[in-house]
Structure 1
Amino acid sequence: MSVGPRVLTGHNGQRFTFDPGSFAIELLLTGGPGAYAIWEILHEPADLARWLTTSRLTDTAPLRVEDLHITRTDLDRIREFRDCLWRAAEAVIRGDHPSGIDLTVINAAADRRPVPRLDPATLTQTWGTPVHGVQVLGAAAVDAIEVLANAPAGRLRQCSADNCQLLFVDTSRPGNRRWCSMQRCGNRAKVAAHRTRS
């Protein structure tokens, strides 16, 4: 999936640009296991459909709510996958091996993906519709497998701020990204360092 930022809103209402670096990591913004459950936004299939219309899937071709067919079972599987990915990604970042159960769920999800099409009239790329929830899951799983397989290169990271849990794939050319966003945690770190020096 191609690179594109999201605009997030922090606890204090501050809006900031965040580039997760991949579709699978972007999915982690929708909630997660344990302490991340407070951020859950995928309560109904319609919630996922709306979220997907502004996701990295739209970098390939536009995606509208009416193009999607997501069932309750699809939503449950996507949430389970997301929770497994959280645990697997955090394990890899710590230098640990992800659990076999989490990797089994991630691998099993990678069998179907959305199908791109070429519009005969405009020669623009579209999606073969309807895009089913199982295809969305497959796209996220294939992306997650690539991210986790390449994680030893050190590009999968957690924000360096001690009070931020956002994960991202560093797609910058020099590979030295440390913060979820320079507008947020990066700026706070600069201010703190300046105060310490002063």
Structure 2
Amino acid sequence: MNPRTSQAEPLAAFVFVGGRPCLDLVDTLGKRGTLDIERLPAPEHLGRWLREVGLANEPPPVSKDELDHARELREAVYRLVRCVLDGARPDQHALAVINRVAAVADLAPQLEAATASDTNPLTARWPTPTPVDAALSTLARDGIDLLSGPLAARVKECESPDCTLVFLDDSQARRRRWCSMDRCGNLAKIAKYRSRGR
């Protein structure tokens, strides 16, 4: 259940500006409605993303069905984020998807001694026979926690007209406008400077 995904970035660098894992999952589809840049075009990309978001120590093997489930969860979370942003009634199908995925056993971390090469003497491992399903459940539960609590009012969409990334505004003044100052914020500053120079 993913929207049209017309473009994939080969070995795309993932974007982690959401402030919450469930929002980082939403942001694996960039430039929604225009280019629809798919950052999870194949199962191995989801495995890599799960490692980079911190839900796996190594990229787990991912099936095509698990990739489809991840995309379905991503779109359900996005539709519910849109409902919050737009003050609209929740999408019933999206609610059913996120609740179904959250009902699966989530990741249960185990604390272990790190290898000698690690800077921290302790590390977390997530031993489970179904690492992808458990990780998706963890993401669904994160979405439920975020969207049902007081932080839902701090979820925003980047104000750049070319960007659709969502993020949790954790700034003290709650005035964050851009997904990231390194990305869209910098481009907006440059555009403003150039328009003044004209």
Alignment equivalent of 2:58, drawn from 54, 64, 77: 64
Alignment equivalent of 1:21, drawn from 19, 22, 47: 19
**Contact kept in structure 2, 1:24 and 1:140, CA below 8 Å:** yes
The match for 1:6 is none
The match for 1:8 is none
Is 1:139 paired with 2:129? Answer: no
The match for 2:111 is 118
The Cα shift of 1:172 comes to: 2.5
The Cα shift of 1:46 comes to: 2.0
The match for 2:75 is 83
Give the unaligned 5+ runs of structure 1. 1-10
SS of the equivalent of 1:57 reads coil
Is 1:49 paired with 2:47? Answer: yes
Larger mean CA deviation between 43-52 and 124-133 belongs to 124-133
SS of the equivalent of 2:163 reads coil
The match for 2:36 is 38
The match for 1:173 is 172
Amino acid at match of 2:47: A
Q: Return the alpha-carbon distance in structure 1 between the equivalents of residues 158 and 21 of structure 2.
A: 18
* Structure with higher helix content: 1
Count how many residue pairs are aligned between Structure 1 and Structure 2: 179
Q: RMSD of aligned C-alpha atoms?
A: 3.1
Give the unaligned 5+ runs of structure 2. 1-8, 115-120
SS of the equivalent of 1:128 reads coil
Distance 1:187 1:31, change over 3 A: closer
Is 1:154 paired with 2:153? Answer: yes
SS of the equivalent of 1:119 reads strand
TM-score normalised by the chain length of structure 1: 0.75
